[in-house]
Chain A
Amino acid sequence: MDIIKPSKNDKIVLGVIYTLLTLFVLAIIGPLIYVVIASFMEPNALLTKGISFDISNYSFEGYRLILSDAQIIGGFINALLYSAIFTLCTVSVCVFAGYPLSLDHFKGRKIIMTLFIITMFFGGGLIPTYLVIKYLGMIDTLWALVIPGAVSVWNIILARTFFRGLPKEMSEAAKIDGASEIMIFMKIVIPLSKPIVFVLALYAFVGHWNDFFQALIYLESQDKYPLQLVLRRILILNKVDPNIVSSIQEQAELARLSELMKYAAIVVSSIPLLAMYPFFQKYFEKGVMVGSLK
């Protein structure tokens, strides 16, 4: 690529750029590495010496404790369930909507698009939305987390842009052969739209997995809490599952261990996302770019 050798000055500038980038990357991964190492530390060593690379100071105590917190497992399962159902809802609703809106001969698409786009700039707000959901009797049910957020205007625009980019020839040929619109959609468009479905599904899943606020507002019973709300209790409100402690002595011990538990909780909660991360790589730029251009 580079035919021309950089000048001396340019080399210095490049050196500065590379140094700054390295520093930035270190600043980003530093805290993460610290958390991972700290989660494997022996509690006393962590308190007195901080983290070390001495193998003899390592233990799984933090993980044993966090996994004996019944709510963590329950929250994990709840979050998986909610995120999976939400992903299914939002992806199908948005892909269904995106297809007709991408067709030029679909009458009324301007009105419908306007209806959607207004909601991007103006909304009733927290309380009126809450009241609607309360009125529908969805409070403290999983539906409150899954249905109201299912329509995402961004996702509809993404899907629409994707469908516009599909070659028209096939659907036109099918039309001439007498295929109905629904046949074209099911037999031709859907099989071609795997990439967009995958992108939307990944982002929907991660977004829902990471969200705590909806659950905080709409759920009341603790056994329905998704992982993020359980994490909030452990990490931020500083409360441990009362079932783990049986005696006062243990309670004092637990206060000492709570720091360690937090590290382990952070690591455990990130595992599903870490597992999905490689799949993302391919789609990072795709998702963002399609959205930004339209």
Chain B
Amino acid sequence: MQQSAKLEQNSIVKERSNRTGFKEVKRCIKENYWLYLLVLPSVALTIIFKYFPMYGVLIAFKDYSYRKGILGSEWIGFHHFERFLNAPNFEQLLFNTLKLNMFGLLLGFPVPIILALMLNQIRKAAVKKNIQLFLYAPNFISVVVVVGILFVLLSPTGPVNYLVTAMNGTPISFMSEPDYFRPIYILSGIWQGAGWASIIYVAALANVDPELHNAATIDGASLLQRIRHIDLPTIKPVVAIMVILAAGGIMAGGGDKAILMWNEMNMESADIISTYVYRVGFQQANYSFSAAVDLFNTIINLIMLFTVNFIVKRVNEGNGIV
């Protein structure tokens, strides 16, 4: 990172010393105009669909009405943010979001790593390939279908409740019970994503020199010792990066799935900030307020990302992502 910054500085200095800067640029564009044409569509689309909305986020500070437009609407400062922070359901939303994503991260993060370490012990390449094929499959199922499967399997007449009644229990309506929302959400998330998430660790482990393992075995290291002292250090940098990425998404995660699993009955624990943004924005058409809540969420995410990045950099010998 530092190096590239230095390089950049150098090039800036160079460009400045170039007195014919503007002419230079013109010549360069003329010479390579095909290349500029090639990047044009993506730059234009990014400006329209990513940067215009960033400007549009101003409506979070305004009393927006569609008729008056973004500029014409009246400024009201932090009114919407204050309203959200003082809303009776603010704490519930915040803690639901945090709990859902924190528990999801704590439970879900180690699974792919363990899975990769275990897969790494399979010696026959063909067997490993086939197992991986099964493990990756759920990742390609849509979130609607996954939630659909949850509904049929966990329905009062479904197979899980069949087992519950067989063991002399009373059927549980899992999908409308607040207490079950988080476990179902997190476990089904692991079911769907853990295999796919393990790919990156499996690939990192493939780089371990087998000689290292052989040498360690001759020296009398047990399998567990070898995993701890050879395999784990190998994947450590990858783990660090994944921790940062996961932490950056800690408040963002799972809007789609929560919107599908959410209902009036389980909202006590299923109502998270992203479902709230959707509900306020689209069902109540309260654009300004919804945008404000969304912005609040994005900023917390950014803070999380930079904080965790800072911590991981400290622990991981200066290697972060930002």
Could you list which residues of chain A lie within 8 angstroms of chain B, going by C-beta atoms? 1-4, 6-7, 9-10, 13-14, 17-18, 20-21, 24-25, 27-29, 31-32, 34-35, 38, 47, 50-51, 93-94, 96-97, 99-101, 103, 105-107, 110, 112, 115-116, 119, 121-133, 136, 147-151, 156, 180-182, 185, 206, 209-213, 217, 228, 231-232, 234-236, 259, 262-263, 265-266, 269-270, 273, 277, 280-281, 284-285, 288-289, 292
Contact = CB atoms under 8 A, between A and B. Distances in A.
Given A127-B281, A235-B151, 8 more contacts: A100-B35, A116-B46, A119-B50, A126-B291, A128-B57, A213-B255, A231-B148, A288-B199
Nearest to A147: B45
B118 interface: yes
Contacts of A103: 35
Interface in B111-167: 115, 118-119, 121-123, 129, 131-138, 140-145, 147-149, 151-153, 155, 157-159, 162
Given A14-B121, A266-B145, A284-B136, A126 B131 contact: no
A interface secondary structure, majority:
helix
Given A100-B36, A103-B35, A228-B144, A24 B56 contact: no
Contacts of B300: none
Contact of B38 (A50, A96, A231): A96
Contact of A292 (B28, B140, B153, B238): B238
Contacts of A259: 152, 155, 157-158
Contact of B56 (A128, A234, A280): A128
Contacts of A4: 214, 217-218
Contacts of B217: 4
Contacts, number: 260
Given A151-B42, A213-B259, A273-B141, A10 B49 contact: no
B54 A123 contact: yes
21 contacts: A2-B123, A3-B214, A4-B214, A13-B222, A31-B149, A97-B43, A100-B35, A126-B294, A131-B287, A132-B52, A150-B45, A151-B50, A211-B142, A235-B152, A236-B147, A236-B260, A259-B157, A266-B148, A277-B133, A285-B199, A288-B200
Interface residues of B, number: 93
Contacts of B54: 122-124, 128
A127 B290 contact: yes
Nearest to A131: B56
A250 B223 CA distance: 63
A1 B123 contact: yes
Contact of A185 (B34, B49, B142, B241): B34
Interface of B: 8, 25, 28-29, 32, 34-36, 38-39, 41-43, 45-57, 59, 66, 70, 115, 118-119, 121-123, 129, 131-138, 140-145, 147-149, 151-153, 155, 157-159, 162, 191, 195, 199-200, 202-203, 210, 214, 217-218, 222-224, 238, 241, 248, 255-256, 259-260, 277-278, 281-282, 287, 290-291, 294-295, 298, 302, 305
Contact of A262 (B148, B218, B238, B277): B148
Residue from B145, B218, B256, B259 with most neighbouring chain A CB atoms (10 Å): B145
B49 A147 contact: yes
